[in-house]
Structure formats: structure tokens, C-alpha cells
Amino acid sequence: MGEKTKLAVSPAIQAGGSLFTPEQLAKIGAVAGADAKIEMTSFKQLYIEVLLDQQDAIKEELERSRLEVYPAGFATKSLIACNFCKGVEEAGLETARVLNQAIAGIETPTPLKIGYAGCALGTSEPLLKDIGVVKMRDTFDIYVGGEAKGLKAALGQLLISGLTREGLVSAVTKIIDIYKEQAKGKEKFSKFVDRITIEKLKRIAA
């Protein structure tokens, strides 16, 4: 047996939520093998273990089945989006897809969860993510520093409001860049926000 690595697999962002087709699930099972363990993560990705020297070929095969494949571990996770119950246009499905394409799979000091909600109902719980995006009518608000786990669970703080789609993608990627540049070792994002303060992060990301 050769060296193994993990791939993070998710369906495309779509109305109705994280939906796999039977064909996609069959493909995942086929490439993983009969003895593989497939992990369902809390960020709506499946982790599959594959041989390192086969990962590129397996990635291409999964992508041909309209699946999205990203690195596992210390990276930004694919966007954790809502079900777009308000409708794809009103809830901003295309914006969520553009944002996901810009941010998913970036190497970071610790795993980074980014949430998206197409309205103020926030069914994807964006305020409990490291970075949360909420669509408010025709603009977007960004929250940072949410913490869902532990006894010190906390909601994210409002960082920027009233952004256009272009401004949203630019701001989120800039926040990720700042975190990569200024985090101390494997500093969690919520602790990073507390250390540099919301006011300073707001000035840098604006």
C-alpha cells in the first residue's frame, strides 16, 4: 500500500441545499474502494482517503461527475450555504457560487469555515462560522469571529455592511489574506479577530 491522502468532496452549491445524486454517490464509492472509510464532516463535505499517487486522476474523475473536490485539513472549506428557500435570484445563488469559487481550498493556518445565508433568517447559521455572509435585500453584510463549539461559543460580530457582490468577494478574500499573513502559528480565527480587534480588521478590510 502506498502513501494516502484525503480529499474533501462536496456537491455544487444549489437550491435545496447539499444534494448528491445517486450517480455521484456511486462514483464516490467506486473511486474510494470497498474498504474505504468516508467521513461526513460538519462543514457539508465528505472526506475520502485515496492513494497519493492517484489523487489527481481521482479528482478529475469526481469533477467529471459534477462534484467539487478540495484539499482536506488546514484550508478554507467550501462555502456552507443555505437552501435558497427565498428563490435563487432573491437569495443570491450565483453570488454564493462566485464566492465559493474565490475562497474554497485556500491554505490557511487552521481550517476556516465560511457561511452564506440568502436572507436574514440565516438558516445556514452564518453567525456561527469564522466568516459569515448575509444577503440583505440587494447588498451583503459580513460577520467575523463566530464560534460554534465549546463552552465559549459566540456569535460573529458585524464587520462590514452594504457590500455589492464584487465588493463582497474582494472583502472576504482580503480577510482571508490578512489572517494568513498575521495569524500566530495555528491561531484559531476567532482568537485572531479578538487579538487584532474588530476595529483594526474593519480598517484593513474596508
pLDDT in tens, 140-161: 999 999 998 887 889 999 999 9
Residue after which a domain boundary falls, among 71, 100, 122: 71
Q: Which of 71, 101, 123 is the last residue of a domain?
A: 71
Assigned C-alpha cell, 186: 495555528
User: Of the residues 18, 47, 71, which one is the last residue of a structural domain?
Assistant: 71
Same domain, 10 and 60: yes
Per-residue pLDDT, 204: 82
**18 plus 106 within the same structural domain:** no
**Could you give the C-alpha distances from 195 to 108, 112, 122, in angstroms and in order?**
17, 17, 27
Pair (60, 95) in one structural domain: no
Query: Which among 78, 77, 102 is positioned nearest to 11, based on CA atoms?
Result: 78
37, 16: one domain:
yes
- The number of helix segments (H) and strand segments (E) in the chain equals 7, 9
Residue 39, domain CATH: 3.30.70
pLDDT in tens, 40-96: 998 889 999 998 999 999 999 999 999 999 999 999 999 999 999 999 999 999 999
**The total number of structural domains that make up the chain:** 2
34 or 22, higher pLDDT:
22
pTM here? 0.92
Contact indicator for 78, 124 with CB cutoff of 8 Å: no
The CA angle 11-160-127, to the nearest 5 degrees, is 50
Does residue 180 sit in the same domain as residue 141? Answer: yes
The residue segments making up the domain with residue 48 are: 4-71
Q: Are residues 130 and 37 in the same domain?
A: no
Q: Say if residue 102 is in the same domain as residue 166.
A: yes
Taken as a whole, the chain contains a residue count of 206
Q: What is the pLDDT of residue 1?
A: 61
Q: How far apart are CA 10 and CA 14, in angstroms?
A: 11
Q: Between the CA of residue 130 and those of 2, 54, 110, 146, 170, what are the distances in Å?
A: 35, 32, 11, 5, 17
| 142 and 115 fall within a common domain | yes
As a whole number of angstroms, the distance between CA 77 and CA 159 comes to 20
Same domain, 52 and 118: no
